[in-house]
Structure 1
Amino acid sequence: MDISSTVLLSHEQALRRRMDVAANNLANVSTAGFKREDPVFREYVEKTGEPQDPVRTTSLVLDQGAVHDTAQGGFQPTGNPIDVMIDGPGYLAVDAPDGTTAYTRAGYLKVGDDGSLVTAGGLPVRGEGGRPIAIPLDQLGKLSIGPDGTVSGAAGALGRIEVTVFDNEAGVDPRGDGLFTASGGRALTAAETKLRSGGIEGSNVQPIVETTNMVEILRAYQTSMKMSEAIGDMRKAAIDKLGRFG
């Protein structure tokens, strides 16, 4: 494979990666708390040539993963007084099935079978100090959550939801099912915590933007294919000429 074909292949692989990310964003337009992603690429410069010849450089594209857009989604009322949206940065800390701590922006909450506050998927939501928030059976139907994350029943406060922030959002990685993994977070104090109850945060994906991106990617891929065909035609023409001389 000659260098021109290698460069085109590198470009087409980057376009495919961009298309996969845009398609995933669009598929999650209705997912609570979903953060759209942007692919990250970097240039790899390859130097070729013999010591006695001038050094030639070729730029290729390397996939460096993706980063999520931290812009906040809109508030979507649900009518459930214990559904919450984090107003600002941060994540709800939950106990993942594998025993680790995971984080989420999806604020669908309910009371689990064991009486603890859990997510829609049944993962325990962590309160202050990493402790679960226990809800007495006689308080069901009388729950409310304050702006500082305090969960209250008819008899008073039952605990406070812990919101964790990360100084480096690039280290917050999606793991699927609306969950993220990260390390080095800091729990917000009651004065720093800002929650809105009675609804959840919607996805920050803008369908028109993602659809436009997909159209642009498709056109770029078509252009790359035409260039590849042109290079192939040039190669065939050169071979024909060499054959006639032979």
Structure 2
Amino acid sequence: MDKSLYIAMTGARENMLGQQVRANNLANVTTNGFKADFEQARAMRVFGDGHASRVYSQSERPGTNLSSGALIETGRNLDIAIHGPGWIAVQSPDGTEAYTRGGELQINAANELVTGNGLPVLGAGGAPIVLPPAQQVDISYDGAITVRPQGDPAAALVQVDVIKTVLPEPGTFFKGPDGMMRTDDMVPLPVAAGVQLRSGYVESSNVNAVNELTSIISLSRQFSMQVKMMKNAEENSSAAGRILQN
């Protein structure tokens, strides 16, 4: 059977993987703090017996688009958005430190400050933030958490902790399967000074829906072309078989 069949097969497979990346981006166009994944394909020459004339395709995710999304005002005290560079430190389910820009914070049944998907937010000391029973919780621009304990007068404010924010070096970050960002060596980053938070806001996704939809359509057409090439290779093989039989 002609080797063009396998070349077309690899092209169709990588087109499908590319569509998965783009579809995941498009599905998270309304997910606050989501960062879109890049996707690309490259040619891989095949070496071996004969001339290296066959070229297979290989798709890859070269990185994540870390540009900031738009800030959306909510007016909710526990909603925070990072204005400019920086990330919020959280504790992932396996106990390691991860980072996110999703600032829809909540207080769970254990009085822990958690993200919208239930991950504990870490304080400046690297431990999950636990809040006392309070009538009001405020988060300042530098991440300081101030509460008014239940039963205390309005002037009785107490600073509980400071949200840990970090500034990773470019090229040292990657997105895990859970959508959280981590360092390449999995070593927790130090607290970064100068990261500014805005209370009462959340950051929207940085996905461009038009670009993602256009890419999905383009990849779908490429997939159809690859399938057509596979059918042509099959027809050529069948015709060659009939000639040999005669």
Q: TM-score range by the shorter chain?
A: 0.7 to 0.9
Q: What aligned pairs does 1:54-133 form with structure 2 within 5 A after superposition? A: 55-65=51-61, 67-133=63-129
User: Which residue of structure 2 aligns with residue 26 of structure 1?
Assistant: 26
Q: Decide whether the 8 Å contact of 2:129 with 2:161 is kept in 1.
A: yes
What is the rounded CA distance, in whole Å, between the counterparts of 1:186 and 1:95 in structure 2? 13
What is the rounded CA distance, in whole Å, between the counterparts of 1:38 and 1:58 in structure 2? 27
Q: Decide whether the 8 Å contact of 1:18 with 1:39 is kept in 2.
A: yes
Q: Decide whether the 8 Å contact of 1:175 with 1:181 is kept in 2.
A: no
Corresponding residue SS for 1:86: strand
Instruction: Report the CA distance shift for 1:99/1:185 in structure 2 as closer, same or farther (over 3 A).
Output: closer
What is the rounded CA distance, in whole Å, between the counterparts of 2:172 and 2:58 in structure 1? 18
Shift of 1:40: 4.5
Return the structure number with greater helix share.
Answer: 1
Instruction: Report the CA distance shift for 1:120/1:229 in structure 2 as closer, same or farther (over 3 A).
Output: closer
What is the rounded CA distance, in whole Å, between the counterparts of 1:174 and 1:79 in structure 2? 31
User: Which residue of structure 2 aligns with residue 227 of structure 1?
Assistant: 229
Return the structure number with greater strand share.
Answer: 1
What is the rounded CA distance, in whole Å, between the counterparts of 1:104 and 1:131 in structure 2? 16
Residue 147 of structure 2 aligns to which amino acid in structure 1? Answer: G
Corresponding residue SS for 1:67: coil
User: Which residue of structure 2 aligns with residue 236 of structure 1?
Assistant: 238
Task: Count the aligned residue pairs.
Answer: 236
What is the rounded CA distance, in whole Å, between the counterparts of 1:242 and 1:112 in structure 2? 74
What is the rounded CA distance, in whole Å, between the counterparts of 1:57 and 1:170 in structure 2? 37
Root mean square deviation, CA, Å? 2.4
Q: Decide whether the 8 Å contact of 1:17 with 1:39 is kept in 2.
A: no
Bigger relative CO (Cα 8 Å, ≥ 6 apart)? 2
What is the rounded CA distance, in whole Å, between the counterparts of 1:236 and 1:115 in structure 2? 69
User: Which residue of structure 1 aligns with residue 144 of structure 2?
Assistant: 150
User: Which residue of structure 1 aligns with residue 11 of structure 2?
Assistant: 11
What is the rounded CA distance, in whole Å, between the counterparts of 2:191 and 2:42 in structure 1? 35
TM-score for both structures, normalised by structure 2: 0.84
Residue 223 of structure 2 aligns to which amino acid in structure 1? Answer: Y
Instruction: Report the CA distance shift for 1:203/1:61 in structure 2 as closer, same or farther (over 3 A).
Output: same
What is the rounded CA distance, in whole Å, between the counterparts of 1:193 and 1:241 in structure 2? 73
Instruction: Report the CA distance shift for 1:130/1:5 in structure 2 as closer, same or farther (over 3 A).
Output: same
